[in-house]
Structure 1
Amino acid sequence: MTNTNEKFHTKIGGMSCSFCTGSIQKAILKMDGVQSVNVSLSHEEALIQYESNKVKSDQLIKTIKSLGYTVRDPEKLKTFEEEAAEVRKEKNRLFLSAGFAATTFGLMVAMWFDVMFPWFKWVAMTLALVTVFGTGWYILKMAFASLRRGILNQHVLLEFGAFGGLLGGFLGFFLPGFPILDFFAVATFITTYHILSGYVSKLVRTRSSQAVRKLMDLQPDTARVIRNGEEVEAAIDEVQIAEHVRVRPGDRVPLDGKVFKGESSVDESLVTGESIPVEKGIGAEVIGGSINQSGTLVFEVTKIGSESFLQQIVRHVEEARALKPNIIQLLDLVLKYYVPGVLGFAGLAILTWTFGAWLMNGDLNGSRSIFATLAVLVMGYPCALGMAGPLAMIRGGGLAAEQGILMRSGEAFEIFKDIKKVVLDKTGTITKGEPEVVHVLALSGYNQNEVLQWAGSAESVSEHPLAQAIVNQALDENIELEDVEKFESITGHGIVAKIGEDMIRIGSPRYLEEQGIDFSEKQKEKEDLELQGRTVVGVARNDKAIGFIAIADTLKEDAKEAITRMKEAGLEPIMITGDNVRTARAVAKQVGIDRVMAQVLPNDKAENVRKLQQEGYKVAMVGDGINDAPALMQADIGIAIGAGTDIAIESSDVILTGNRLGGMMDAYRIGKVSYRKTVQNLILAFTFNGVGVPLAVTGWVHPVWAMIAMVLSVTTVLVNSFGGKVLSGSKDTKTKKAS
């Protein structure tokens, strides 16, 4: 039988750290016929490539579910209400478990003040059992499923500690010297802490990406199809290739096709990111989701279903999510060695007080062996280690929010320090994304204000973006506009307007020259403007040329400064755009960018980012449009301009509210310093755990002292995270002030 390679794409719920992604990958890769597994923690998705003659998709689903995770179709997105319900469920579980932990703590405090009743131990035992086998049952199932496959992760370590606490508590009923209450308390506390960690993780990811849904909303549900000479409204999925579809002004193009009849200007910003409409005539291609503006078009359908542009974008967004490189966070890297280390010390405690004691004095010290082993497992639970990263990120996230920056994932904090390439979309990111008049060139007998007055008056009744740019410039310069008596739009060429006794023509210089108007004066200046990437329109009054108006998408106020800061920080800025090479290079030159990728389609943007990653670079992508979504999803850090489209925002890890590009470097600085704070926290936390675990092997560490050490380590990490000016004094800030 011939091997058939297929892809299985799914959403996975319940992941909390890279241990989870590692557990899923290991389990799936052990299955015969699986070729590759990509699991994204940030977006809770997996993309599995497999041979369908050896393994089936339902087997893949069964394996993932057996590990304790949930599986669902990535295209069937949860509603906000469903996600909110899940968060409430986790919250209720946490409150219940926290109530058990608080009650247990109250019993311990009473015991410390010599208030002890016989029923205390029975209450502590009940609370511990209910916590471990009740609210924490899902953790137990995940730990068992992982252990059964030989996978050691945080769930396994938790259950070793929890069962160690339960065992110690039960032994206390029979062996003198075993602190019953303390051991049961440990089982309750560490399970509750783990539930807390899960709740925080769920809260961070509570809004699953809505990018796919919003993309599909761009495609109309119906199309006006011409059948047997009549126009009928048909559902999109009923339209066939080669059928003719009519699109009226203001309508969204329903499907991909080729113009059969008519002329119009079409807003294709979802493809190129460019705000200036594209003129369409017979034979020109139109894309589903773009907006028809001025004229009526009849086009022949050339692509339907999965081959259409929007469906391809959906697929690229989905695959980019799953193919996005996983970031092994520092904490998870530590835990990778820490978990086996703790279990190793637990084994050493058993050997020391059994075989070792027998060699030394011929006596197997069983009770000491059990006590020491349980103490190691209790002391070994990485409470402070688990809080080291989140606390630093919470602090960094708060400071970022104060500067209008929203950090949506923990990975963003840790990966910023490794970023070497910054890929920037042009329109809406480096530039404002709106056409503006940048130069008025008056010909003999006229001045700039007169050219603007005639042009602004004629264009005042037009809704074309270039027309609006001319009108806005005239109004900004307090030029009084005249009333238009007659107006005609010549699709794809320009306009004709009658103002009083004068006829004003505005359009491309080439078209006006074809109408017999001489635009030979100042041709060199006009060509220079075009070489700078400007769109130049000619203005004529009564068939006599009176001037040129150059229109362009202008730079953001802080764009050049932001690019300079990137270079000073050792980052290479790369411009990527769907616009033409000439315009792209002109804009890049203005801001100081050397490397330009022009005329790049949305799916190719993601591919270009992926190539940089394959070369070994960590890549940040900054964008704002629909066409940027796959690349934002693919990048190690996707950064969306907050004034951009919802789809770009949903595809990103960091959101810069407003239009300020400089916020990217502020996020970079905060991310780097937050990472340093995380390292400090891990060192402090590991000092307690790293010293405490070996000491516990001696059998002299009482569980009470183990818990006191845990409290002290958490307090130290908390103070270090929030005390003082945590994120001040970075090199980037100093550089900026010095400049």
Structure 2
Amino acid sequence: MTMGKPEVADVLLAPETKLDAEQLLALAGSLEKGSEHPLAQAVVAEAKRRGLKLKTPDDFHALPGFGVEGKVDDQKVLLGNKRLMVENQIDISSIDDQVVKLTENGKTPMILCVDGQVAGLLATTDAIKPHAKENILHLKKMGLEVVMLTGDNSNTAKTVARQLGIDRVVSEVLPSGKVDEIERIKQSGHCVAMVGDGINDAPALAGADVGIALGSGTDVAMEASDITLVGSDIKAVVESIELSKATMSKIRQNLFWAFIYNIVGIPIAAGVLYPAYGILLQPVFAAAAMSLSSVSVVGNSLLLNRYTKVNS
């Protein structure tokens, strides 16, 4: 729903840290060098923009749905959401109010911890994709229910959903939680199409009836999906659904054209009309009918090209 190109908007220090803003950002950027997540790329890009020297982390681990961890200059560094800090029993009470304010403003905060002590946080923002709201409305008009599944905090997710006109939001879910939610929807009798582009979306893409990966996403997401779209425009999702419906319609029409010549021609060739009307189907006409059957099917299928041109 968003551009997928977040930018660092805030770098805030915890009262108890001895680091300055650039040191904090350098630590975060060094740690995130090992990740291909969009938030990681935003941190690295901001560090490079400020001309900071980044180091290669040791013992790096990506923790899907939580954040990342590793060692930078023999310091154990954690960078991620509030759940990661709780999981590691890190006291973040000194910056908790700042985290709440940032999330209320629709930003995504990432908390940095060094050797078991909170050092500060970075907050990112990501613009909504152009025409995303119109495309969501189009999906609704097609009779589809749109649900947002995200690992982002509740306030950020609700802010984005409100701007897009999405009524149902499931936020702060781990990758496994997305799969569970998809299973619940499937068990209620619905067919589920999942659209995603990140590492955290891969399990859900694989678990949906139809997984749709955006071409700008990660390799893992594209490998787990059934359909990979070129680019990252949400409009392509709408068009792919419309095109699939048009294709199914053509298949049904082609079945008609494939059988109608035989249904009509075989009885006539067998002489069913001969006693009453003296009509027989000559071999040359039978061959022509079979050719027309093939031509009708091919010609009708080629009409799909008109659809792609109209919607391109």
Q: Could you state the TM-score of these two structures normalised by the residue count of structure 1?
A: 0.30
The structure with more radius of gyration: 1
**May I ask how many residue pairs the two structures share in their alignment?**
259
Q: Would you say 1:463 and 2:36 are equivalent positions?
A: no
- Find the counterpart in structure 2 of residue 438 from structure 1: 9
**Matched residue of 1:667: which SS?**
helix
Correspondences of 1:547-558 after superposition (within 5 Å) = 550-552=123-125, 555-557=128-130
Taking the aligned partners of 1:614 and 1:667, their CA distance within structure 2 comes to: 25
Residue identity in the other structure for 2:295: T
What residue in structure 2 maps to residue 229 of structure 1? none
The question of 1:637 aligning with 2:210 is answered: yes
- Whether 1:608 aligns to 2:181 is yes
| Residue 277 (structure 2) aligns with | none
Q: Which of 716, 719, 725 matches 2:296?
A: 716
Task: Find the aligned partners of 1:724 and 1:659 in 2 and give their Cα distance.
Answer: 23
Query: CA–CA distance in 1 between the matches of 2:184 and 2:144?
Result: 17
SS in 2 for 1:727: helix
Whole-angstrom CA distance in 2 between matches of 1:716 and 1:666: 26
Could you tell me which runs of 5 or more consecutive residues in structure 2 were left unpaired when the two chains were aligned. 14-19, 33-38, 55-71, 80-90, 113-119, 273-279
CA shift, 1:557, in A, is 4.7
Secondary structure of the residue aligned to 2:307 is: coil
Aligned in 2, Cα 1:649/1:469: closer, same or farther, shift over 3 Å? closer
Deviation at 1:602, TM superposition (A): 4.3
User: Closer, same or farther in 2 for the Cα pair 1:722/1:729, shift >3 Å?
Assistant: closer
Mark the runs of 5 or more structure 1 residues left unpaired by the alignment. 1-429, 443-453, 495-509, 514-518, 539-546
CA contact (8 A) 1:439 1:549 kept: yes
Q: Calculate the TM-score normalised by the size of structure 2.
A: 0.62
Matching residue of 2:109: 535
Residue of structure 1 in register with 2:140 after alignment: 567
Determine if contact 1:457/1:471 at 8 Å carries over to the other structure: no
Deviations, residues 308-362 of structure 1 (Å, cap 9, x unaligned):
xxxxxxxxxxxxxxxxxxxxxxxxxxxxxxxxxxxxxxxxxxxxxxxxxxxxxxx
Residue 690 of structure 1 and its aligned partner are, at CA, apart by 2.6
The 5-angstrom pairing of residues 318-333 of structure 1 reads none
The structure 2 residue matched to 1:660, chosen from 230, 233, 244, is 233
Give the corresponding residue for 2:246. Answer: 673
Select which of 76, 79, 86 maps to 1:491.
76
The answer to whether the 8 A contact 1:436-1:554 is kept is no
Contact 2:30–2:44 at 8 Å: present in 1 too?
Answer: no
Structure 2 letter corresponding to 1:722: L
Could you tell me which amino acid in structure 1 is paired with residue 300 of structure 2?
A: N
Aligned equivalents of 2:44, 2:22: Cα separation in 1: 4
Q: Distance in 2 between matches of 1:726 and 1:656?
A: 20
Distance 1:579 1:471, change over 3 A: closer
- Give the match for residue 501 of structure 1: none
Following the alignment from structure 1 to structure 2, what is the Cα–Cα distance between the partners of residues 711 and 722?
16
Q: Deviations over 1:385-433 (max 9, x none)?
A: xxxxxxxxxxxxxxxxxxxxxxxxxxxxxxxxxxxxxxxxxxxxx3455
Measured in 1, the distance between the counterparts of 2:194 and 2:270 equals 49
**Residues 526, 643 of structure 1: alpha-carbon distance in 2 compared, 3 angstrom cutoff:** closer
Q: AA paired with 1:437?
A: V
Matched residue, 1:588: 161
Q: Matched residues in 2 for 1:526 and 1:603: separation? A: 25
| Structure 1 residue 655 displacement after superposition | 0.9
Q: Deviations over 1:560-591 (max 9, x none)?
A: 44323323433221112344444433443343
2:178 & 2:121 partners in 1: Cα distance?
A: 35
* 1:726 aligned counterpart, secondary structure: helix
Aligned with 2:217: secondary structure? coil
Mapped to 1, the partners of 2:250 and 2:291 lie a distance apart of 20
8 Å contact kept, 1:432–1:555? yes
Is 2:199–2:221's contact at 8 Å kept on the other side of the alignment? yes
Cα distance change of structure 1 residues 493 and 632 upon mapping to structure 2, 3 Å threshold: closer
Q: Is the 8 A contact 1:560 1:590 kept in 2?
A: yes
Q: Which amino acid aligns with 1:611?
A: R
CA distance in 2, matches of 1:703, 1:582: 74
Between the aligned partners of 1:643 and 1:595, the Cα distance in structure 2 is 25
Q: Distance in 1 between matches of 2:223 and 2:109?
A: 33
Residue 692 of structure 1 aligns with which residue? Answer: 265
| Cα deviation, residue 437, structure 1 | 1.3
In the aligned structure 1, how far is the partner of 2:172 from the partner of 2:78?
23
1:727 alignment counterpart: 307
- After superposition, the Cα gap between the structure-2 partners of 1:698 and 1:616, relative to the gap in structure 1 and judged at 3 Å, is farther
Distance, in Å, in 2 between the alignment partners of 1:528 and 1:512 is: 14
Distance 2:11 2:111 in 1: 10
Residue 562 of structure 1: SS of its match in structure 2? helix
Q: C-alpha distance in 2, partners of 1:625/1:603? A: 14
The aligned runs of 1:151-550 (5 Å cut-off) are 430-431=1-2, 435-439=6-10, 455-456=21-22, 459-460=25-26, 462-465=29-32, 469=42, 472-473=45-46, 491-492=76-77, 513=94, 527-531=100-104, 532-535=106-109, 550=123
- 1:651–1:704 Cα change, 3 Å: farther
Structure 2 CA distance for aligned equivalents of residues 618 and 668 of structure 1: 13
Q: Look up the SS of the partner of 2:30 in the other structure.
A: coil
Matches within 5 A, 1:17-32: none
Q: Secondary structure at the match of 1:673?
A: helix
- State the identity as a percent: 39
The answer to whether the 8 Å contact 1:621/1:637 transfers is: yes
8 Å CA contact retained: 2:246, 2:304:
no
Pair 599,693 (structure 1): closer, same or farther in 2 beyond 3 Å: farther
Deviation at 1:612, TM superposition (A): 2.6
CA contact (8 A) 1:641 1:649 kept: yes
1:605 shift after superposition = 3.4
Write the distance in 2 (CA, Å) between the matches of 1:511 and 1:651.
36
